[in-house]
Amino acid sequence: MNKYIGCFATSIAGHDHNNIYVIIDADDEYVYLVDGKIRKVNNPKKKKLKHVQLIKRTDDTITGRINNNVALSNEDIKYAIKNIQ
């Protein structure tokens, strides 16, 4: 289990800078980001870890679903991002 999965992150580089995302997957160099609107769960954005700033908050519902391999919906992601702002 990667420590970044389920965390919120803000893009700090690229055309999408300042957007808030949820990390749904990660490897050594990249994280996979979704926002439920433009970047949906079935098409996450692949971004280098150095181009995002982690927000040290997680959503328990999203983290629980990812850990239990339950499918995430775009509405869940949008709701979680709306509540953090």
The hierarchical CATH code for the domain 7-84 is 2.30.30
Q: In terms of Cα–Cα distance, which of 2, 7, 1, 26 is closest to 77?
A: 7
3-state secondary structure the chain: CCCCCCEEEEECCCCCCCCEEEEEEECCCEEEEECCCCCCCCCCEEEEHHHEEEEEEECHHHHHHHHCCCCCCHHHHHHHHHHHC
- Would you place residue 75 in the very low, low, confident or very high pLDDT band (cuts 50, 70, 90)? very high
Region 10-14 average pLDDT: 93
Report pTM: 0.89
pLDDT in tens, 19-53: 999 999 999 899 999 999 999 999 999 999 999 99
- Would you place residue 1 in the very low, low, confident or very high pLDDT band (cuts 50, 70, 90)? low
Tokens 């850990």 correspond to 67
Residue 39, pLDDT score: 94
